[in-house]
Chains A and B, each alone.
Chain A
Amino acid sequence: MFMIVEVFRYDPDAGKEPYYERYTVHVPALPITVKELLETIAKNYDPSISFFQHSCCNHATCKRCYVKVGGKAVLACNTLVESKDQIRIDPVSHDNVVKDLVVKDL
């Protein structure tokens, strides 16, 4: 099945304003975690997206993988995407974005 995912993009090196990139993503089955969804996008559509990846506990313990899904802050590693409705993924805060979905000091 396909779902539409909008991802907040911002790269301070690119000299561009932030924008949302729209991906039509093929997901073999639902539910999957938000992190798995982002990994699917990176693997099959766009390896240049950045999201918290360098020291993931994967067990809702380090609390560093927060993103906003539909405006709500969730842990990407532990939160499921259950329906194929279009979703929008934002950084947890827009004030201190390092790149795309990664914010400083989480």
Chain B
Amino acid sequence: MGQRVNEEIPLKTDLLVIGGSGAASNAAVAAAKSGVDVLLVSKGKVGKSGNAIISTSTLSIDGETAYQLGEKKADRSLTKNALFQTIVKASFYLSEQCLVQDFVEDCGKRVHEFLSLARAMGKRVRFLAPSGWITANTTVGAVIREQIRRYPNIKIIEDAMVIDLIRSGDRVNGALALDLYNGKFHVIHAKAVIIASGGFQPYSFKCTSSDSTGDGMAMALRAGAELADMEFQLFLPGVALSPPHLKGSIYPFVWFAARLAQPAINTSSGKSVLESADKNIVSLGKNAKLWKLINLYYWTKEMECEGRPGSEEFYFDFSSVKRLSYLKSLLKMNLLLKMLYKGKWRFGGENIRPFHDMIKQGKPWQVGISSEYCMGGILVDEHMKTTLEGLYACGEAASGLYGAFRVESGLSEMLVQGYRAGAEASKYAKESQESKLDSAYLDKIKEQVSELVKDNLHSGRSSYNVYKLWDELRYVADTGLGLVRNESDSGSALSRVRHIGEEKISGLRVSDRSRHYNSELLNLLQLKNVCLCLQASLMCSMARKESRGTHLRSDHVRVYNADFLHRHVISFKGSSLSLRKRSPDLRFMEPSREVYKNIEEYLKKEFF
């Protein structure tokens, strides 16, 4: 077949929002309220894509506000100030405190608005002590769609992947998107752009949506913005490894974290993972949201091979749980799930009965550790503005609120930051003059996509293809950016990822010439983004020669406040990535400059 030509559709708007989940919908709503025209472009369908729709859908705020909102069981001692302190301490002092302050101020209002809309739509929401709510993940999706539907000045394009931003001089004023179904290009000209495209997951064992390929982060980086905190991934202990069709389900984690009848957690050799753990620290996990970090820390200590997500099996063993206590817990869980999802044994779309059949048969649940969220992302200031004029970012795509460990709600962050970004970017769009699209820049990024479907040595059924390279990259991430890291593994991973990027991906062309749903092209575009974000992550990981939050190093176990109280920031210098340090905003709470023996000691000192 001859040269493929992508038809072009030019579009103009005040504000372009990239993404179709909660950060994007809230950004679009805040902007639409202020009267600007919004175009929202989403890779998936609005409210049917991203991590929000597969989350457990707990949203939390401070207890004081929850009480004022009528939740009489809310814990009022969790004041705004207490929430602020918890986030900052759990971030290991890497949070930008101005962002935390804004979050604490806004979260009650945003979560209240979101859940009020859910209730008005007849959806079920239940209070969850001490200061949050739980709803169905399908409800989260439905509310996101409804939010958008209410504003006629929000236009949407779904199933279109934004490939790159358009930079005209020093300002971002548009983007190029590919309609995945018909292969047409959308050339979007906007006064301001918000990236709300979610996170980045490079691993082979996943519990996240396939959207998390770091597209927004990579395009921001390519356009000249900066990424920060890329070494920090939020690992979730207790993700199902079996039964096979439920691999990646977070139901075991949810059971465990809900404090229902607690199984023993054993390694494959039968050792209890919490046996040698400090009991005070473990009890901290019971009361606070540090549960994930505490378990991650102790589970990984028992791992035989160093830290590849999902490679090590753990077992939730219910054999010593009293039958009555188990049945009571099961009833409680079933009532909750039935209330949220209506059908019996339903958790989101999954039928969780096989888990409970296993208990009946005396079999333990086989679980592993998988990453749920990335703390790293685009560097923004308190106005959600990136370092590039006209470009904003929010939600999981942005960084700075949770630092080295996300202790609070990702969904609340998505709502708060989305709304703020929308308000700020629309203000900018109103005040700024329209600027001309740089056509040379646009041609260059279009050409880069067109290149991928040209004939080449590596196209087609040759020794490697995009799917094989995905496997290679995942393996590199598993080994170099895993649960427990060390200099030599991360170093070789960094060399390998550079090699894969430069020698393999850059020369790769797709064998499929079709303009219509070209899976191969989609994967190649995503792979490039993952490759870039992985390089950034490995550089940050190598530079952090200490342990902090979820960044656990076997060769540097100390929390080294004396030298490492800074964020790592990545940007392009010429054609290669470069790293700089940035001191976070510490205007309200100063950390001690102490050196802690390990994560355990840090938690003890900071939280007792």
Interface residues of A (CB under 8 A from B): 11-14, 31-33, 39, 42-43, 45-51, 53-64, 75, 78-80, 98-100, 102, 104
Which of B165-173, B483-491, B507-515, B591-599 lies on the face that meets chain A? B507-515
12 other A-B residue contacts (CB within 8 Å) besides A14-B514, A54-B522, A62-B349: A11-B514, A42-B519, A42-B520, A47-B461, A47-B510, A47-B511, A54-B44, A54-B159, A55-B159, A57-B209, A58-B248, A59-B349
Distance to closest chain B CB from A28 (angstroms): 13
Leading 5 A-B pairs by shortest Cβ distance: A55-B44, A60-B349, A43-B467, A48-B512, A61-B349
B210 touches A53 (CB 8 A): yes
Distance to closest chain B CB from A81 (angstroms): 10
B53 touches A61 (CB 8 A): yes
Distance to closest chain A CB from B440 (angstroms): 29
A55 touches B45 (CB 8 A): yes
Contact of B523 among A53, A57, A60, A80 (CB under 8 A): A53
A32 touches B348 (CB 8 A): no
Once bound together, how far apart are the Cα atoms of A74 and B210, in whole Å?
A: 19
By a CB distance below 8 angstroms, the chain A residues around B513 are 13
Closest to B526 in A: A54
Complex interface bits, B135-167 against A, C-beta within 8 A gives 1, otherwise 0 = 001100000000000000000000101000000
Once bound together, how far apart are the Cα atoms of A47 and B350, in whole Å?
A: 29
Chain A binding site: helix, strand, loop or mixed by DSSP? Answer: loop
Once bound together, how far apart are the Cα atoms of A49 and B349, in whole Å?
A: 27
Complex interface bits, B327-353 against A, C-beta within 8 A gives 1, otherwise 0 = 000000000000000000000111000
List, sorted by A's number, 7 A–B pairs whose CB atoms are closer than 8 Å.
A13-B4, A13-B516, A55-B48, A55-B159, A59-B350, A80-B245, A99-B517
Once bound together, how far apart are the Cα atoms of A51 and B180, in whole Å?
A: 12
By a CB distance below 8 angstroms, the chain A residues around B244 are 31-33, 80
Contact of B516 among A11, A39, A53 (CB under 8 A): A11
By a CB distance below 8 angstroms, the chain A residues around B515 are 13
Complex interface bits, B1-13 against A, C-beta within 8 A gives 1, otherwise 0 = 1001000000000
A47 touches B512 (CB 8 A): yes
By a CB distance below 8 angstroms, the chain A residues around B471 are 43
Closest to A77 in B: B245
Chain B binding site: helix, strand, loop or mixed by DSSP? Answer: loop
By a CB distance below 8 angstroms, the chain A residues around B210 are 53-58
A13 touches B514 (CB 8 A): yes
Contact of A60 among B49, B159, B350, B517 (CB under 8 A): B350
A64 touches B522 (CB 8 A): no
Whether a CB of chain A sits under 8 angstroms from the CB of B233 is no
Closest to A60 in B: B349
Known: A13-B514, A47-B461, A47-B466. A62 touches B159 (CB 8 A): no
By a CB distance below 8 angstroms, the chain B residues around A12 are 514, 516
A55 touches B467 (CB 8 A): no
Once bound together, how far apart are the Cα atoms of A11 and B50, in whole Å?
A: 28
Complex interface bits, B71-109 against A, C-beta within 8 A gives 1, otherwise 0 = 000000000000000000000000000000000000000
Once bound together, how far apart are the Cα atoms of A33 and B512, in whole Å?
A: 24
Distance to closest chain B CB from A15 (angstroms): 9
Whether a CB of chain A sits under 8 angstroms from the CB of B211 is yes
Closest to A43 in B: B467
Once bound together, how far apart are the Cα atoms of A82 and B159, in whole Å?
A: 32
B465 touches A63 (CB 8 A): no
Once bound together, how far apart are the Cα atoms of A29 and B45, in whole Å?
A: 34
By a CB distance below 8 angstroms, the chain A residues around B518 are 50, 99
